[in-house]
Structure 1
Amino acid sequence: MEQLEAYVGKLMETAKLPGAFIGIAKAGEHVYTKGFGYRDAEEQAEVTLDTVFGIGSITKSFTCVAIMQLQEAGKLSVNDPVVQYLPEFRTKDAESSKRITIAHLMSHTSGMPSMPTLYFAMRRSMEIDPALQESDRNFDLTAHEPIDTYEQLMAFIAELDVEQLGEPGTEFSYSNDGYALLGAIIERVSGQTYESYLKEHLLDPAGMGHTVFLTLDLGDYENITTLYTSKKTEEGKVVFAAPLWWDAPAMRAAGFLKSTGRDMLAYAEIFRTGGKVGETRILSEKSVQQMIGNYAGLEPARHYGFGFMVTPQFRGGTLIEHGGALKGIAAQLCILPEEKITCIVLTNLDGAPSAELLGATINTAQSLPVDEPIAIYPDYPVAADTLQDFLGEYRSGEGEMVQVSSGETGLVVTFAGADYPLRSVGADAFSFQMPTGLEKWIRFVRDEAGQVSRVAFHFRQLIKQSKEA
């Protein structure tokens, strides 16, 4: 493990990451569990197997487990239309909304574009967070009243003047709103709150005693990380404590669980074993297989299932994974069922290189060099006279923005204040390399007239705003 620990130490130093946890289990037995750095840098409190971190959007797979349980109980089908349970749900295209199924929400293929809902759902916690004043975030929280309930969430979506990306089931674009709606469906169908349903039917049966939505529910338990965020200064990146946890009662189903390395390795067993944690069955094997089915292509070798990204031909087996990110959170979970391997990475700084840490962890678990690429994108010829098609600015409703421009040797993508040369890897598809060496993939989307109108970036489809001047 020396190679992994040296790699982790170097990455943490470069990222100024205060604390992290890495866990590897094989056949359900812990083979490597180690805390790095501190859960509280000021107090020099160390990270352990039982330190509580945020897991962000890894919560989405928990939400899908709940939906699959309700399907097994005969209370719904994932192929049912959403309006069967949420009759007040509609988008600008009311007729298209009626064709959106529960499965479309689970696989991010509803056709709904990214919306600003999450910020207004988090508004009450964000506006009392002093760290927000120091950070580089500049979202206008006053543009809408707080969204506190599922009813307010659906009313907000109905009011938005946004175009569907396509017919339900045809276009993948990551949607926190869709998962919030799944939380509402779970409440309507089960007759109990989303949070209590998850506790009763998943967290407690799986023995996940330190997995909660609110740290207050942990009582006097002290092994909880402090959250950290960063800002850019003339001296460079400055990391500082930002201890207030953001919350969004109407969108908890999209990404607000907190958990520990021990609990998450237990949770991963569901997908390694075909539905069980120890001797306790959480899901049927059929439901687990349905969760990792192919419902939307992400990249040439990777697809989205229900709450998970899946690479079905990964080094001779299957890679099931998902990440999570929010203020003070960057986490990654993976399962390699054929090799009986599960891995968890938890960190306490947003923007931390959690995907790189997971890659190194997977490589270590498979006895490979830590820096072995997880995904490889071969070069693909592109005609120079077509490059101008991709130029322009692209934005999402969640505030993401990328600029594609011409560089000295080809296209350049700019986001978060940094430039990255693009390399052609497919028809209208490119990759770029992060400073850590991680390769990222983006794909441009053309409209019916053949004009580039969107870019699939960070799993969302961003809308083209203008062509580069």
Structure 2
Amino acid sequence: MEDMSRLDSACPRSLRSAAALSLVAALAVGCTAADADTSVAGRAAVGTSPLPTVPPAQPPAQLTRTKVETAVSRLDDVVRDAMQRTGVPGVAVGVVYDDKVMYLKGFGLRKVGTKDRVGADTVFQLASVSKPLASTVVAAAAGEKTVGWDDPVVKYTPGFALKDPWVSRHVTLADLFSHRSGLPDHAGDLLENLGYDRSYILDHLRYEPLAPFRAHYAYTNFGLTEAAVATARAAGTNWEKLSADKVYRPLGMDSSSSSFADYEKAGNKAALHVKTGGTWRAAYVRDPDAQSPAGGASSTVRDMTKWLRLQLGNGKFEGRQVVDADALEQTHVPHMVSEPPHSPAGRTGFYGLGWNVSYDDQGRLKLGHSGGFALGAATNVALLPSEKLGIVVLTNGEPIGVPEAISTTFLDTAQTGGPTVDWLKFLGPIFQQALQGERSQVDYSKPPASPAPAKANSAYTGTYANEYYGPMTVSAQGNELTMQLGPKKQRFVLAHYDGDTFSYRTTGEMAVGLSGVTFTADSSGRAAKVRVEDLDTSGLGTFTRKD
């Protein structure tokens, strides 16, 4: 994740935009101005509105220690500039070059309104930067022959099923880690948003419609999660312990975990922040345990630089082969086209196993991944393996492009001597476009001038069934209709819009502002079905009366 909304009326769909943000990261990693000008994949993924133009640049020269040191010496100013321009409360940055930690520093506050400073040992939620961490864990297991990347998932989870029985039998760990199973974009995320646990969500992926197997890329937090927990099952343990046993403990990542409870109990942790009316505030808590392998890890920049050294060292850390080199290398090569080029000069975007994979004008491999919680976190990791250079940026503010701009400015400076583009200004519109998706096409805040009247509340009240989302209860409290969904019985007020259509305000990590609820009556005039627009992204959002 992995697989960025707020709970106000202007909020966009959060994790559903993570795939686009992931492509933005792929566009940005190691970019120079020339790369940005010709790589249209990232911008095509998020819209066609005009973006800032960039001047031409020469291909980057080979890196030297002097160039890297120059870029490192300017990082303080780069971070402070990004923070000053955006107001993001806290940032932590780590840089590794030639197996040495060249930079390790925190800036700003762990939580607004306090004096608690961010440092190198402040724990941040990683969001989808959890994915390349997870693929490292599975690579370790694959290197020990516990699993193979091409093993079918049903070998370890016999009850796992997708809609097509043939795909169910053949889908592999690599298929799910590279988002090529055919599952629709962000399958299962809306179930998590309603409060369902990991077991329920993975079991209900079988209801999702499938695109052509291994011929269609769609970013799926819970597809990747299934592959990871199947690996843990093969090892006779759970995902949280496997992550600690195979990566965190061997590397001495003592402040890292794949359990939300460990993040919660950390004394030195960064709170999540969203920006409302120009002001940053710590308003929400995000428990991502259901999709832990895809988005639920937490760590510090000190710990993450140890992992960067492992990645850049072909699985070695301080002289020890912690992860088999061949198994790890499989995560670094393209397994699926994530975005085809949209012009003759455009670049192709690839996804590896938990990584965005691309190549620059010199043929150098570039690896990267972004993470974001709409409720208040944004992260980025970027590697140039042939140059043994990597950077990780963790922030405690909602995704607006800050970690990507810092990473890209640093790598651009290391290659060209200075930023060829104002990367924060360049990436900002891309992020804005990426986060506009999934809103309703109807503006429910403005009812028609002469709306058709609703029926009596009794025509709508009752219990409705849905094999994917579970039961829905519509009830009346006075003159107010409410809708109840999910295992935690979340309640939503239904406001009349027009005829048998109502609106409600979505909430949580997947919030998209106001969305529609449309009842369909039978011959008696009583509602027989109800379609919840926000839950119908893959055609599963219709509930049928059962009372």
TM-score w.r.t. the length of structure 2 is 0.60
> Over residues 75-129 of structure 1, what are the superposed CA-to-partner deviations in whole Å (9 max), with x where a residue is unaligned?
32221222222222222223333232211101111111024523433x5xxxxxx
What is the DSSP-based 3-state SS (H/G/I as helix, E as strand, rest coil) of the residue aligned with 1:35? Answer: strand
Equivalence for 1:157: 205
Q: How does 1:242-253 map to 2 (within 5 A)?
A: 242=283, 244=285, 246-253=286-293
Map of 1:100-119 to 2, 5 A cutoff?
A: 100-115=171-186, 117-119=188-190
Q: Considering only aligned residues, what root-mean-square deviation do their CA atoms show, in Å? A: 3.0
The one-letter code of the counterpart of 2:129 is I
User: Structure 1's 176 and 346: CA in aligned 2 closer, same or farther, altered over 3 A?
Assistant: same
Report whether the alignment pairs 1:400 with 2:438.
yes
> Structure 2 matches for 1:191-270, cutoff 5 A?
191-214=236-259, 216-217=261-262, 221-231=266-276, 236-242=277-283, 244=285, 246-270=286-310
Are the equivalent residues in 2 in contact too, given 1:7–1:370 (CA < 8 A)?
no
Residue type at the aligned position of 1:18: P
Larger Rg: 2
The residue number in structure 2 matching 1:277 is: 317
User: Could you tell me how far apart the structure 1 residues matched to 2:364 and 2:187 are?
Assistant: 38
Letter of the 1:400 counterpart: E
Q: Would you say 1:36 and 2:107 are equivalent positions?
A: yes
Paired residue type of 2:307: Y
Which of 361, 369, 373 aligns to 1:322? It is: 369
Match of 2:216 in 1: 171
Give the counterpart letter for 1:211 in structure 2. Answer: S
CA distance in 2, matches of 1:314, 1:54: 34
Which amino acid in 2 is paired with 1:10? D
**2: CA distance between counterparts of 1:36 and 1:367?**
26
Question: Could you tell me how far apart the structure 1 residues matched to 2:297 and 2:122 are?
Answer: 14
In the aligned structure 2, how far is the partner of 1:347 from the partner of 1:355? 11
**CA 1:89 to 1:279, structure 2 compared with 1: closer, same or farther past 3 Å?**
same
* Structure-1 separation of matches of 2:259 and 2:131: 17
- Is residue 2:128 matched to residue 1:57? yes
Deviation of 1:339 after TM superposition, in Å, equals: 1.4
Q: Which letter does structure 2 place at the counterpart of 1:37?
A: G
SS in 2 for 1:98: helix
Percent identity between matched residues is: 25
Q: Distance in 2 between matches of 1:49 and 1:116?
A: 35
Q: How many residues align?
A: 356
Pair 221,111 (structure 1): closer, same or farther in 2 beyond 3 Å: closer
Picking from 344, 362, 368, the partner of 2:417 is: 368
| Bigger Cα displacement from structure 2, 185-194 vs 77-86 | 77-86
Aligned positions of 1:299-310 closer than 5 A: 299=339, 300-310=347-357
Structure 1, unmatched stretches of 5+, are 124-140, 375-394, 404-461, 465-469
Identify, as 1 or 2, the structure richer in strand.
1
Structure 2 unaligned segments of length 5 or more: list them.
1-71, 340-346, 424-433, 442-536, 540-547
Tell me which stretches of 4 or more aligned residues in structure 1 moved more than 6 Å.
none
C-alpha distance in 1 between matches for 2:329 and 2:73: 36
Task: Say if 1:314 and 1:42 are closer, same or farther in 2 by CA, change over 3 A.
Answer: farther
Select 2:117's aligned residue among 39, 46, 57.
46
**Contact kept? 1:4, 1:370, Cα under 8 Å:** no
- Which has the higher relative contact order, 1 or 2, with Cα contacts under 8 A spaced 6 or more apart? 2
Contact 1:268 / 1:334 at 8 angstroms: preserved in 2? no
Matched with 2:330 is: 290
Give the Å deviation of 1:183: 2.8
TM-score by length of 1: 0.69
Per the TM alignment, residue 211 of structure 1 is displaced from its structure 2 partner at its CA by 0.5
Residues 229-251 of structure 1 deviation map (CA, whole Å, 9 limit, x = unaligned)? 233xxxx433211363x224332
